[in-house]
Amino acid sequence: MPYVTVKMLEGRTEDQKRALVEKVTAAVSETVDAPPENVVVFIEDMKKSNLGKNGKLQSDA
């Protein structure tokens, strides 16, 4: 059973998350020959204050 975790900054709509889960599920299912019902997708929304890039918090960018 494949498990996929997607980490991204918060702010996406429910519709965007639905589309992401649908497309990730299809890609994983096709790539590793797993039934779609066995693919589990976790979405982790992160606050900008919890992500640093190039030495700075994204909330400061």
By annotation, the residues acting in catalysis are: 2
**What would the DSSP string read from start to end of 21-56?**
HHHHHHHHHHHHT--GGG-EEEEEEE-GGG-EETTE
Measured distance CA(30)–CA(24) in Å, rounded: 10
